[in-house]
Amino acid sequence: MRKHFLDNARYTIVITVIVYHVFYLFNSVGVIGNLKIQGIPQFDIVEYVLYPWMMTALFIISGAGARFALIKNKKNGKNLKDFMKSKCRHILLPSIVYIFAIGWMTGYLSDYYNDVFQGNGDSIPGIFKYLIYCLCGIGPSWFLRQLMVCFIVLVIVVKLDKNEKFYRLGKKTNLAVLLLMFVPMWLCAQIGTLPYIEVYRNGLYIFSFLLGYVVFSQEKTEGLLKKYFWLFAVIAVTAGTVYTIVNYGKNFAELSNLNSILTIVYTYFGALAVISLMKKCFDKEYRFTRFMKIRSFSYYLLHYPVMALSAYAFDRCFHLAPVAMYLSVFAATAVLLPLVSLAIRKIPVIRTLLLGM
């Protein structure tokens, strides 16, 4: 039971994440990154436009996809244990292997640009430096670990709700419910964020995932998405404009900014607008869709180290001007990422460990 608009939304957001990270590498607003290379402050506006909603949208899509995966599981005579075994292989394993196989590279860049050891690196044994590099280089793999938490919560919910009363609540969704859903999202965003590792926003992301499972997997909701796309788009553009004007120049990744009511309104309606756009205009399978459906996971997981290492190479070897750095990293990622992804997909053991294939 594949939903083409969800597949199209998924790879579109993966591309959005890649675009975001090019600007993130050179941000001028104090968001912590692995590199310290001068960027163009005016270009930071791209980060304000993209950052609030894109990962929330991915969790909503993943939640809806989980509903369809469980239905398929049941039809194939598999149970929840089989479902979780699959997620451990395809999600948990790559999230761990990534840190130790690839994460250390961007961790090294963090040390090169930020002097993680404050001048004492030579006195620290190599194995400890490697482990610290790994912890500094979690990169996009955080999403997989957060997603695994969502799957665990979902399995608990499904086991407790054997008659699917919770899921059937989603059938009552109407336009008013969709418009007001930012309120419980804002409340959930206030809880569960891990201190010092604020990308793990458990309250927000678990709620978004369950919202996808209960609401966005419903046929009725699909009809609402298609019918009211322009309403969601207008609200999203308005909220995004106000959000950007109010917050421009601030560290948009600080928790106080992330959890404000204005940010959550833009977060929710930004995600809603993108998903409804896909339902209204791109609910078909295309050749490019089939291509990206297979590769979007590897592109998501591998893009950041490719991008960061390219930026490091351009900075060290060519000392490019800021505009040239942006363009060069874009171009290098566009060329190298498909090649790196293809190479890893062709190596049997590595593709299993790193991509869950």
**pLDDT interval class at 110 (50, 70, 90):** confident
Instruction: Report how far residue 31's alpha carbon sits from residue 253's, in angstroms, rounded to the nearest whole number.
Output: 6
- Among 75-89, 91-105, 228-242, 315-329, whose mean pLDDT is lowest? 75-89
pLDDT at 121 over 90: no
pLDDT in tens, 321-357: 889 999 999 999 999 999 999 999 999 888 998 888 7
* Interatomic CA distance for residues 313 and 328, integer angstroms: 11
Burial zone of 62 (CB within 10 Å; 0-12 exposed, 13-18 middle, 19+ buried): buried
Return phi, psi of residue 193, to 5°: -75, 130
Which two structure tokens, joined as six digits, stand for 200?
């793990």
Return the pLDDT at 1: 60
Distance (Å, whole) CA 85 – CA 356: 12
How many CB atoms within 10 Å of residue 322?
14
Task: Quote the mean pLDDT of the chain.
Answer: 90
Task: Categorize the per-residue pLDDT at 311 as very low, low, confident or very high, splitting at 50, 70 and 90.
Answer: very high
